[in-house]
Chain A
Amino acid sequence: MAEKIKLNLNRVSMPKQAAAIRRRNFNEVALGYSEQQAIKEAGRCIQCKKPGCIKGCPVEVSIPEFIKAVHEGDMPEAVRIIKSTNSLPGICGRVCPQETQCEGSCALGKKGAPSAIGRLERYVADWERAHPEVSEKQKERVAFNGKKVAIVGSGPAGLTCAADLAKLGYEVTIFEAFHVAGGVLMYGIPEFRLPKDIVQAEVDYVRSLGVEIKLDHVIGKIATVDELLQNGYHAVFLAPGAGAPMFLNIPGENLSGIYSANEFLTRTNLMKAYQFPEYDTPIKAGERVAVVGGGNVAMDASRCALRLGAEEVHLIYRRSEVEMPARAEERENAKEEGVIFRLLTNPDRFVGDEQGKVNAVECYEMELGEPDESGRRRPIRKAGTEFTVPVDTVIVALGTKPNPIVPSTTEGLEVSRWGTVKADEDTGKTSKDRVWCGGDMATGAATVISAMGAGKRAAANMNAYFNG
C-alpha cells in the first residue's frame, strides 16, 4: 500500500455455482474468494480518512482497518478487528444488504463498483473457521460482574446482544423456542444462501463467550418475563422475532398445498424436508408452484421450491420489479435459476379438488397508480384481466407480524397497534422496567443486520443502566 494507488473501479468477482446446476442442489450458491482474490479486492479500498462505510454499518465494523489487514495478508488481525464489534461475520458477510449499507456508502461507489466489503468479511470469517487455533488464542473470558441477563430468542438480535453483554462480564442466558439456536438464520434463510454449519459455528462462538442457550423454552409459556425478573435475572432483552405469518385472506387459502413461507422454509431448512424420507418431516413441493410476494423471503421460497424439484415456479407480485423489496442480487439469482416473474399480478382466489388440495390460483392484472404511504406506486386492479394459473403448491410470502405470546403474557409492556413492542429506537428500552426489546419484535419484519444493530444498542444501554 506504499505506492500511490490508482483507482480500480472493478471489483474482483466471486465465483458462483452455475445456475443450471445450483437450481437443483442445496449447496451454497456463492463460493467465496480465494486468498489471492481477497487480497486483490482488499487492495481496491482507498482507506478513506472519514469512512462512510462504517456509518453505513449498523454494528459499526472498522471496515477500512480490517480490509487493510486483509490486504497485508494478516488474517488473524482482520478477524480480531471484525469480531471486536461483530460476533457473526460469516452470517453478515453472506446475508447483509451491503448495497444499501456499508457498500452503499463507499467512496469508490461514486465512480465505479464499491469495495466488496461483504465478500471480504465473509472471506475473513471463513478463514477463521478454517483456522480454529487462531480464534482459540484470541479468546478471553471476562470476570463475572454480578449481573444476570435473560434474552428471549437466539436469532441475530439475541445472539448479538448476548455476545456483547458476555464480553462485558454479564452472565447471559438465551431462551430459544426451537430445538436449535439461530432463529431465522436456521429456519428461514436457506442452506444455499447461508449454510447451517456456518450459523452453528457462530452460535458456538457466542457460547464460547460463556453464554448459556436453553433450547425448547417458549417464554410466555414455560416462564413469563415477569417470572424471569423475579427469579434472579436483573434484566431481560426481548428478541423473539416477528413470528406470525400473514395471509391474503382470500377464498380457498386453507386448501392443503398452500403454505406460509414460514412453514415452507421451516420444513425445508430447519426440519430438513429436502432430505425426506431420511428426515421424517415431509413437504409437498409440487411440480407447478406459485409464490406470492416480492421480498427476499419470496425469493428464498421460490428458489427452495426449484431445488425441491418443481418444474415451474411462478413468482406472483402485484407491483412491478422496481417496487420489489427483494435485493437485486437475490432477484438476479432467482431469474438465473428459472423462476418466472409474473409482475403486476394479484391472486383473487384459490381453487381446489375434492380432496381439498389446491390445483389453481385465479389471478388478475394490476396497473400502477399514484404513490401510496410507502412511497411506492399503488397497484390498482385492471378490469377484465382475470386468468388462471394451474398449480399444485402455493407459498404465501407476504411478511410476518409479531407473535403475541410474549407481549400478551408480560405485564406493563406497551405494544403498538401493529402488535410490535414499543421500544426506544436508540436504546431498545421498553415501557417496562428492566426490559429491553429489539429486532423484528420491535420494528416489524426487517433485516438480519438491523436486528443485530438493535441487539448491540440494547446491550450498550443495559450496560449504561447498570453502571449509571
Chain B
Amino acid sequence: MYRIIAKERLAENIHLLEVEAPEVARKAQPGQFVVVRVDEEGERIPLTIADWDVGKGSITIILLAVGTTTRKLARLNAGDSILNFVGPLGRPTEIDRFGTVICIAGGVGTASIFPISRLLKARQNEVIAIMGARTRELIFWEDHLRSVSHQLIVTTDDGSYGRKGVVTEPLKEFLGARKVDRVIAIGPAIMMKFCSLTTEPAGVKTIVSLNPIMVDGTGMCGCCRVSVGGETKFACVDGPDFDGHEVDWDLLMKRQRAYLDEEKESLKLWEGKAVRKQGG
C-alpha cells in the first residue's frame, strides 16, 4: 500500500496526488512514469511522474479524472492509500545542452513538461515554454512552468486567458523568428501530432511522449505498441519518448480508442456504486 500524503485539486477534474514511494523517488527522472492500480478490482494505468522529493520519499502525479481509475484516484485524500504503485518506468527524456528548447504542454501534459523543463534549464538551455488549455479554468502550474523557463506563453482555445488559439501558433512564430534546437511536446495525441507537423518543415527535432493504453508497463504484453519510423515499438520500454516526425499518429489514436465502449460501461457501473456508497 502506498499512502497519499497530500492532495490538491488543481482545476476542474484535474487533481494532484503526492504519494509515499521512497524507492521510486530515489530513482525517478524526467519523462518516466508509474503504473498504478487503485484497488483489488482496479485496472493498471500509466501516469507520468510530475515531480519527486527524495527527502520526503514521495512521487507527485497529476491526473485528469475521466475514466474509472482516474475517477477513483480523484476521490482519494491525504491519508488514503493506493494499492499498487510501480516505477519509475520507461526511459527518461534525453536531456543535454541543446541550446534553445521549446517545451510545449497541452492539458495535463504540463505535469510531464515541468520536470523536463526544470532539468533543461539547469543544464543551461534557453527554455521557452508554451502551455495550452481549452479554457482558463483548466490551467494549472503556470507558476511552476514559469519558474523553470525563460519565457512562458499561455494559450486558451476560447481566449479566456492568455493568447486565444492553439499552441502551434506561437510555436510557428518562434520557429520563424529564431534558431530553435529542439522541441519537446507533451499532451493529447492530436496536439503532439500537430506540433510535429509544424516543426517538420523547419527540420527541428521534436520529441513527443506517447500515451497508448498499457497493462504491465514493463514490455511484457505489447498492448502499448506504436509504429515509429515504420517499426513497431513498445511505448513502455522503448519510450515513452519518440521522434514526433516518425510516429504513426493515426494508428496511435485508433489504438487509444480501442476500448471506448468498455470504458463507458465501466464508468457507468462505478458511478452507480459510488452514488450508492455516498447515499448509504
A278 at the interface (CB under 8 A from B): yes
Tell me the complex Cα distance, A8–B270, Å. 58
B262 contacts A262, CB within 8 Å?
no
| CB of A175 to closest CB in B, whole Å | 11
A260 contacts B221, CB within 8 Å?
yes
Tell me the complex Cα distance, A215–B83, Å. 11
B215 contacts A222, CB within 8 Å?
no
Tell me the chain A residues, 441-455 only, with Cβ under 8 Å from chain B.
none
| CB of A212 to closest CB in B, whole Å | 14
A179-B37 contact given A356-B251, A403-B219, A405-B218, CB 8 Å threshold? yes
Tell me the chain B residues, 230-256 only, with Cβ under 8 Å from chain A.
232, 234, 237, 250-251, 254-255
Q: Mark A415-431, 1 if CB is under 8 A from B, else 0.
A: 00000000000000000
Residue of A nearest to B90 (CB): A221
B43 contacts A271, CB within 8 Å?
yes
A278-B219 contact given A216-B85, A254-B255, A284-B259, CB 8 Å threshold? no
A256-B254 contact given A216-B85, A280-B42, A280-B68, CB 8 Å threshold? yes
Tell me the chain B residues, 15-50 only, with Cβ under 8 Å from chain A.
23-24, 27, 37, 41-44
Tell me the complex Cα distance, A216–B23, Å. 11
Tell me the complex Cα distance, A258–B225, Å. 11
Residue of B nearest to A403 (CB): B219
A256-B258 contact given A216-B85, A263-B215, CB 8 Å threshold? yes
B86 contacts A177, CB within 8 Å?
yes
| CB of A397 to closest CB in B, whole Å | 12
A residues less than 8 Å from B57 (CB atoms) = none
A254-B86 contact given A262-B221, A271-B43, CB 8 Å threshold? no
B residues less than 8 Å from A271 (CB atoms) = 43-44, 215
B216 contacts A266, CB within 8 Å?
yes
B residues less than 8 Å from A403 (CB atoms) = 218-220, 237
B83 contacts A179, CB within 8 Å?
yes
A52 at the interface (CB under 8 A from B): no
A267 at the interface (CB under 8 A from B): yes
A404 at the interface (CB under 8 A from B): yes
A282 at the interface (CB under 8 A from B): yes
Residue from A223, A257, A262 in contact with B27 in the complex, judged by beta carbons closer than 8 Å: A223
Tell me the complex Cα distance, A299–B13, Å. 44
B interface, size bucket? 35 or more
A residues less than 8 Å from B259 (CB atoms) = 282, 284
B residues less than 8 Å from A280 (CB atoms) = 41-43, 68-69, 266, 270
Tell me the complex Cα distance, A223–B41, Å. 28
| CB of B91 to closest CB in A, whole Å | 10
B269 contacts A222, CB within 8 Å?
no
Tell me the complex Cα distance, A11–B92, Å. 58
B158 at the interface (CB under 8 A from A): no
B266 contacts A245, CB within 8 Å?
no
B residues less than 8 Å from A263 (CB atoms) = 215, 221-223
Interface of A is mostly: loop
A177 contacts B215, CB within 8 Å?
no
A466 at the interface (CB under 8 A from B): no
A221 contacts B89, CB within 8 Å?
yes
A244 at the interface (CB under 8 A from B): yes
Tell me the complex Cα distance, A281–B87, Å. 20
Tell me the complex Cα distance, A61–B237, Å. 40
Tell me the chain A residues, 212-270 only, with Cβ under 8 Å from chain B.
215-218, 221-223, 243-245, 247, 249, 253-254, 256-257, 259-260, 262-263, 266-267
B84 contacts A279, CB within 8 Å?
no
A277-B262 contact given A216-B84, A221-B88, A403-B218, CB 8 Å threshold? yes
A residues less than 8 Å from B251 (CB atoms) = 254, 356
Tell me the complex Cα distance, A260–B227, Å. 16
B residues less than 8 Å from A247 (CB atoms) = 222, 232
Residue of B nearest to A179 (CB): B84
Residue of B nearest to A249 (CB): B232
A residues less than 8 Å from B87 (CB atoms) = 218, 221-222
Tell me the complex Cα distance, A177–B219, Å. 11
A residues less than 8 Å from B227 (CB atoms) = 254
- Some 7 contacts from A to B, beta carbons below 8 A apart, are A216-B86, A221-B87, A222-B27, A254-B225, A254-B227, A263-B223, A282-B259
Known pairs A178-B216, A179-B86; list 8 more (Cβ under 8 Å): A221-B27, A222-B88, A244-B234, A254-B225, A263-B222, A277-B262, A281-B43, A405-B218
Residues of B within 8 A of A (CB): 23-24, 27, 37, 41-44, 68-69, 83-89, 215-216, 218-223, 225-227, 232, 234, 237, 250-251, 254-255, 257-259, 262-263, 265-266, 269-270
For the complex of A and B, 8 pairs with smallest distance between CB atoms: A356-B254, A282-B262, A263-B221, A256-B258, A280-B43, A260-B222, A179-B84, A243-B220
